[in-house]
Structure 1
């Protein structure tokens, strides 16, 4: 079940934590946060924007990422990940993600900057129009 925790984000994905996500200290390890953020972005790209990661001529490469940790989370918690776009350029996009525990507590906030490139040459190109149209729906109002 998808749960919108607040109106700060336009798209929500609900993800259960797994036993193997916990580290020696008994909480979800920091690398899992990045994996979940990447999953939320790619889930949206595939389902909402029609992106085909195996065949698309234009692909998004991560050139920058950041995560600020706010609270702990442990298995068997379920997380709600909110997704929005903070900035949309000609060939780049800044994804912003909030991770929330099932009780509504903010666990982490992060971002990924993707630059769209031509798959073969890896040269920057414009975000494909079909994807850009969908991305504009996630653009954060300032």
Structure 2
């Protein structure tokens, strides 16, 4: 079973496994009828932390970069519920970095917690903005992504 789908391995993650963090203050609208954050909201959080990192640290501009990342697969494992009002810390790391693709792992921690409530992620394939054909990750973007590579990926 791959690391991305092995819930037991993911449940053992800790805050120190993630080199980049973004805070998120939950909103009342994030809760569902059962008074916890709706599952679909987590995918918004994953997208937010990944794109914040790409913009701030990997020289990628969604409006002007010659290439864009398209999500080709995603996953999420839920370990404990979260609900409004809470501040969440979104941890990000890269598990696989190829020539034109990257797989991210995101952990959602309640502020101050060391154990994640949710771990998920997705894979981006980079393509030319206009032709939508696969494109090698640019050197600037690759350099930024390499800073997030998990230790097991560097072996």
Q: Same fold per TM (> 0.5)? A: yes
Q: How does 1:66-81 map to 2 (within 5 A)?
A: 66-81=75-90
Q: Distance in 2 between matches of 1:24 and 1:53?
A: 34
> Which range moves more in the overlay, 99-108 or 8-17?
99-108
Match of 1:93 in 2: 102
Q: 2:151 is paired with a residue of what secondary structure?
A: coil
CA distance, structure 2, for counterparts of residue 40 and residue 6 of structure 1: 15
Which residue is equivalent to 1:17? 26
CA distance in 2 between counterparts of 1:67 and 1:74 reads 17
Which runs of 5 or more structure 1 residues have no equivalent in the other structure? none
Q: TM-score w.r.t. structure 1 length?
A: 0.94
Q: In the aligned structure 2, how far is the partner of 1:31 from the partner of 1:6?
A: 23
Residue 123 (structure 1) aligns with = 133
Local SS of the residue matching 2:147: helix
Q: TM-score, normalising length from structure 2?
A: 0.86
Other structure's SS at 2:55 match: helix
Alpha-carbon distance between aligned partners in 1 of 2:36 and 2:134, rounded to the nearest angstrom:
39
Task: Return the offset for 1:6.
Answer: 2.3
Which structure: greater helix fraction? 2
Name stretches of at least 5 consecutive residues in structure 2 with no aligned partner: 1-13
Q: Select the structure that is richer in strand.
A: 1
Q: State the Cα deviation string for residues 24-52 of structure 1 (Å, max 9, x = none).
A: 01000000001001000000000111211
